[in-house]
Structure 1
Amino acid sequence: MSSAENQPDEATQPGRPDRPVWLGGLREAFTPMSHGRRLPGLLLGVSAFVVLLGVWSVVTYGGFIDDLFLPTPGQTLSAGIRMFGSGFTSDVAATVIRVMSGFAIAAVVGVPVGVLIGAYAPVQSFIEPLFSFVRYMPASAFIPLFIFWIGIGESEKIAVIILGSLPQIVLMVASNIRNVPIALIEASYTLGTDRANVLWKVIVPKASPDILDTLRIVLGWAWTYVIVAEIVGASSGIGYSILQSQRSMAVDRIFVAILTLGVIGLIVDNVLFLLNRALFKWNAVKESE
């Protein structure tokens, strides 16, 4: 064999024969950030908001869009100070309580049902078509019925959130359960584990990080349901504040309400993300490898 044949191929990585270098680059690009790369990632995330604020400032202060339709950042900030100084905090609290109450009920019911659907074929055949059917019914379409059946109190708004969130949680959790590698399940049976222990000690723990991510995603949808419910019939809440602002053509107040929703959602989303990392450190280590 010639010396040229003994030279490593430039297009392969050392220690990994026949693995092109560009594949390693792709893997690194799509791997979750390690501890050393979190700061640059955070700066990139902040820079996106800075760019958005810059564009907003240019089109408003530059006169490209009339402030009747799009208020300036300064006008929005002033409106926010006035709103939070005159009782808007109570509207925010009312909306948060409604969302968390309805979503908690949906999660408590939906997660176990989703686990059963994903783990047992007869349960899947019996229940899943029903939730798939309900999933395509807009929760907002039931608001007139809920008002007729329940009234316009807190129960009606919480019912809208439950109806909108429950089918999504059930079906997505079932998918999380079905995505557990079959090799892991077969290995458990080989080691002598019975069916019940495989479900609760192997499948559910393995799927738990994905289930928490599912809840994080569906919680974002729950905010849209409560705003619709508050706009249709409420005397408090962020949606009610938006409706009142629309009637008085106070666009700056509408922007404050919408931005408040975004800030709350961003905070809750990051809290759940960090909770996932804290509860399932083994999964975070596995993803970073």
Structure 2
Amino acid sequence: MGTAVIMHGDHRVIPKQTLAPAAEVKSYRQRWFEYQKPIPLYWTILLGVAVWVIFFGVWELAAAKGWVNTLFMPPPHQVLSTLYTMIVEKGFLYDIGTSIYRILASFALACAVAIPLGVLMGSFRTFDAFFNPFVSAWRYLPAPAFIPLLLMWFGAGEGSKLALLFIGVIFFLITLIMDHTRAVRTELIETAMTLGASRWQILSTIVLPAVAPKIMISMRQMLAVSWTYLVIAEIVASTTGIGAVMMRGQRFLKVDEIMAGILVIGVVGLMFDFLFRWAQRVLFPYVPRGEQ
């Protein structure tokens, strides 16, 4: 790269080549830290893997160096070994399947109620005025507080667990869907009304297609919340499920089994999150990637 100075009258002009390194550094920094700028897919994968490698590496190092008590915080390799033993010898796959069934059954029921009710509340002020005070009040009540009542009403079987998971997400899901429905562009609705469309036509051909991608996002968010209630639902009068296995581990001070259960919940939850993202890209390819 040349370093000659070009004279222009009485002024010295720095050639363009000498500014190239600074420009290159600026461009490089922008690729890393520019606000909301997309990054390549391979960087997304690499960074996503790197954070977990660092997390487990620090955890393993802390256990190896004696920085933590391995009785209460066993290293990752021990947790993975315990998880393998639980799956192969103790039928842990059945418990995982039972927990997944409880999550999916209760969440499907919650969606069947929340989606039509949330869309109607967001579309028509009459529905909103009637249901919103009721939904808003229930949203502030902690779902675990209903455990004694649910046990009396449904017994110690599946009914009480499904009911707790249902209560934990239904009212928040209704509110999210209602808010997304209200955000549908009013000019679209007004144009359809001008053209003589009926209320049902507006709802089915404009409101629902416009709000459907946002409903999918709300479902993905609330499914994660449903998993947070799983252990609470399975620690009361339950002998099966991931939560029940974790409670038995706590009773006998088997911390590695507790951590194995936590790890499984995280992995299964992440798998469902990826499935929702994939389904959204397939069903709504017109939605920008950053809004999915």
Q: If the length of structure 1 is used for normalisation, what is the TM-score?
A: 0.86
- Provide the residue aligned with 2:67 in structure 1: 64
Q: Distance in 1 between matches of 2:233 and 2:260?
A: 19
Q: Per-residue deviation at 1:32?
A: 5.5
Which is higher, the Rg of structure 1 or of structure 2?
Answer: 2
- Provide the residue aligned with 2:36 in structure 1: 30
Are 1:165 and 1:222, in contact at CA under 8 Å, matched by a contact in 2? Answer: yes
The SS at the match of 2:71 is coil
Are 2:82 and 2:257, in contact at CA under 8 Å, matched by a contact in 1? Answer: yes
The SS at the match of 2:288 is helix
Q: Are 1:73 and 2:76 matched, yes or no?
A: yes
- Provide the residue aligned with 2:252 in structure 1: 248
Give the gaps of 5 or more residues in structure 1. 1-23
Written as runs of structure 1 = structure 2, the 5 A alignment for 1:59-208 is 59-85=62-88, 86-208=90-212
The count of residues paired between Structure 1 and Structure 2 equals 262
The SS at the match of 1:83 is helix
1:162/1:125 CA distance change after superposition, 3 Å: same
Q: Per-residue deviation at 1:80?
A: 0.8
Q: Per-residue deviation at 1:25?
A: 9.0
Q: Are 1:229 and 2:244 matched, yes or no?
A: no
Q: Distance in 2 between matches of 1:141 and 1:277?
A: 38
The SS at the match of 1:147 is helix
Q: Per-residue deviation at 1:139?
A: 1.0
Q: Distance in 2 between matches of 1:211 and 1:83?
A: 37
- Provide the residue aligned with 1:45 in structure 2: 48
Q: Distance in 2 between matches of 1:218 and 1:113?
A: 16
Q: If the length of structure 2 is used for normalisation, what is the TM-score?
A: 0.85
- Provide the residue aligned with 2:22 in structure 1: none
Are 1:94 and 1:236, in contact at CA under 8 Å, matched by a contact in 2? Answer: yes
Deviations 1:81-117 (CA, angstroms, capped at 9, x unpaired): 1111121111111110011000000101110000000
What code does the residue aligned with 1:270 have? F
Give the 4+ runs in structure 1 shifted more than 6 A.
Answer: none
Q: Distance in 1 between matches of 2:290 and 2:165?
A: 35
Q: Are 1:260 and 2:264 matched, yes or no?
A: yes
- Relative contact order, higher structure (CA 8 A, sep 6+): 1
What code does the residue aligned with 1:30 have? Q
Are 2:31 and 2:37, in contact at CA under 8 Å, matched by a contact in 1? Answer: no
Q: Distance in 1 between matches of 2:290 and 2:261?
A: 40
Q: Distance in 2 between matches of 1:133 and 1:110?
A: 16
Are 1:32 and 1:287, in contact at CA under 8 Å, matched by a contact in 2? Answer: no
Q: Per-residue deviation at 1:169?
A: 1.2
Q: Distance in 1 between matches of 2:38 and 2:173?
A: 25
Are 1:99 and 1:161, in contact at CA under 8 Å, matched by a contact in 2? Answer: yes
Q: Per-residue deviation at 1:160?
A: 0.6
Are 1:277 and 1:284, in contact at CA under 8 Å, matched by a contact in 2? Answer: no
Give the gaps of 5 or more residues in structure 2. 1-29
The SS at the match of 2:107 is helix
Q: Per-residue deviation at 1:192?
A: 3.4
Identical aligned pairs, as a percentage?
35
Q: Are 1:279 and 2:283 matched, yes or no?
A: yes
